[in-house]
Chain A
Amino acid sequence: MSNTKFEFAEMHWLMDVLQSIDVGLVILDRDYKIQLWNGFMENHSGLRPIEVQDKALFESFHDIPEKWFRQKAEPVFELKTRTFTIWEQRPYLFKFKNYRPITGRASTMYQNSSIIPLESADGSVNHICLIIYDVTDIAVNREDLTQANSHLAHLSQTDSLTQLYNRGFWEEEFQREHKRCIRSHNASCLVMFDIDHFKNVNDQYGHQAGDEVIRTLSSMVLQTARETDICGRYGGEEFAIMLVDTNASEATFFTERLRKKVAAMIVKTDEHEIQFTISSGVAEFSEDFTKHSQWIEAADKALYHAKENGRNRTTVYQSK
């Protein structure tokens, strides 16, 4: 083979490779008009090179936000630097179907892309190459993992019967809030409450009925509390709520509303109709509570006081 022939063959091989490589290659000129469109792009888009040749990218592909893409591509022209986009920014540039349309779980192909400068003979950059990588499997796996982790986190934080925070997680959150109070000096209230004579409910109607009472009460708590409040099941029939940015009189308003709703409620099981009441202790944050346990003790004392004074009531902690 002569030299020219060999070079020609080499060119031909290279073109074949570019054509069949499983990566998208697009060359754009300074006006973002498509100059090269390889086999990957053709096959996934259904558009032949002749159909896109010299057409502006944004006209042919409306899914690509022009302003966003220019922000990534202009530095490539201007600074001769490479830039990259990842699927976390936008799942895809070109809306292509998943490579595995039957067994794959994503409907569209997730894509990473690189944009690289192509220098002309005079050193200026008048063309850029856009390289598209299929990262669907990586993206789907990552999203699965994130989901699994957040599910695990939920499981480890939540009390399964009531869907309130379990004691461990509630205390962590409470400690954080306690620290925030020390820093910010904002009024926040801790409420501890429990079901009056809960032992009698269990003895009289059985443990399943007791569980139903706790479950119903908890869902009422979740309905009554704000999203920012931190509600936890502290013990068997004892609950704790951190009312954020709330003073003692506002907290009393909250507990009284809850108390009245509970007193008016009837929990129906297969055989019984159960009525019950709750008692609450409220403690507003004080600078004296240097440890979070002191704050809990205060709310506990107030709760004890409510019990002593006849139950079905709210007591606010008074420091001496």
Chain B
Amino acid sequence: MTTLINEDQRDCYQEITNIAMGQAADRLARLLNVYVILPIPKVNMISASELHMALADTTINDNVSAVCQGFIASGIAGEALLIFNDASFSDLAKLMNYKGPLDRHGELELLMDVSSVLIGACIQGIGDQFEISFNQGHPVVLGQHCHVDDLVKSGNHQWSQTLAIEIHYEIENMNINCDLLLLFTEDSVAKINQQIDYLLD
């Protein structure tokens, strides 16, 4: 069985994400004292094989560092992946007032600080709109200084389809680029669709 989303539902996902990512951007903006440029999020049902393509789309050739965090509530479960272009760290360190050496460990600190805020706020923003409160697992470092292909092991996935929401964050006048990918399990999509149909009604 393949779960599909219709145009109305896609639009709804987009709008809900838009609000949640706006809240996340607001927190990041306050934390860093910058303006975050907000794009229109991309919403798609993708298969396991397409996940790699979606990831590869996010960055061009550059080395990346990424963290991943699971979340769950009321039968809706998913993961948030935050992928940073490695070139972003020097500007990020300036904004975060990070004084230590910008080595692997320094970058990990920055990655964790930003992901806590961005992922946390986004997940909370989505939860608020459905009137649920997500539990968040601990963040896991998927890799540092690696190619985007190596972030997620291919093959042997327990799932065939996932709802992927891609958000590209950029910070005005700064060389800071990151992608937040929200992935929902297939059975969650059915649950969310119910909620959305209720909202659309």
Interface residues of A (CB under 8 A from B): 68, 71-72, 75, 78-79, 81-86, 88-89, 112, 114, 133
User: For residue A81, which residues in chain B have a CB less than 8 angstroms away from its CB?
Assistant: 27, 116-117, 120-121, 124
Inter-chain contact count A-B, CB under 8 Å?
51
Q: Is B48's beta carbon under 8 Å from chain A?
A: no
A93 to chain B, nearest CB (A): 14
For the complex, what is the distance from the CA of A79 to the CA of B112, rounded to whole Å? Answer: 16
Contact at B30–A78, with CB atoms within 8 Å? yes
User: For residue A112, which residues in chain B have a CB less than 8 angstroms away from its CB?
Assistant: 138
B97 to chain A, nearest CB (A): 9
For the complex, what is the distance from the CA of A114 to the CA of B105, rounded to whole Å? Answer: 19
Q: Which of B105, B108, B120 contacts A83, CB < 8 Å? A: B120
For the complex, what is the distance from the CA of A82 to the CA of B116, rounded to whole Å? Answer: 7
Known contacts A79-B27, A88-B141; can you find 11 more A-B pairs with CB under 8 A?
A: A68-B109, A75-B116, A78-B30, A79-B31, A81-B116, A81-B121, A81-B124, A84-B136, A86-B140, A86-B141, A112-B138
For the complex, what is the distance from the CA of A89 to the CA of B116, rounded to whole Å? Answer: 14
User: For residue A78, which residues in chain B have a CB less than 8 angstroms away from its CB?
Assistant: 30
- 6 closest A-B pairs (Cβ-Cβ)? A83-B116, A81-B120, A79-B27, A82-B120, A112-B138, A84-B139
Q: Is B149's beta carbon under 8 Å from chain A?
A: no
Contact at A79–B121, with CB atoms within 8 Å? yes
User: For residue B112, which residues in chain A have a CB less than 8 angstroms away from its CB?
Assistant: 84-86, 89
Q: List 18 A-B contacts (CB under 8 A).
A: A72-B116, A75-B116, A75-B117, A78-B30, A81-B116, A81-B124, A82-B116, A82-B120, A84-B112, A84-B136, A84-B138, A85-B112, A86-B139, A88-B108, A88-B141, A89-B109, A114-B138, A133-B138
A85 to chain B, nearest CB (A): 7
Interface residues of B (CB under 8 A from A): 27, 30-31, 69, 96, 105, 108-109, 112-113, 116-117, 120-121, 124, 136, 138-141
Chain A, residue nearest B124 (CB): A81
User: For residue B116, which residues in chain A have a CB less than 8 angstroms away from its CB?
Assistant: 72, 75, 81-84
B176 to chain A, nearest CB (A): 18
For the complex, what is the distance from the CA of A133 to the CA of B112, rounded to whole Å? Answer: 17
For the complex, what is the distance from the CA of A170 to the CA of B109, rounded to whole Å? Answer: 35
A121 to chain B, nearest CB (A): 18
User: For residue A83, which residues in chain B have a CB less than 8 angstroms away from its CB?
Assistant: 113, 116-117, 120
For the complex, what is the distance from the CA of A78 to the CA of B69, rounded to whole Å? Answer: 22
For the complex, what is the distance from the CA of A86 to the CA of B139, rounded to whole Å? Answer: 7
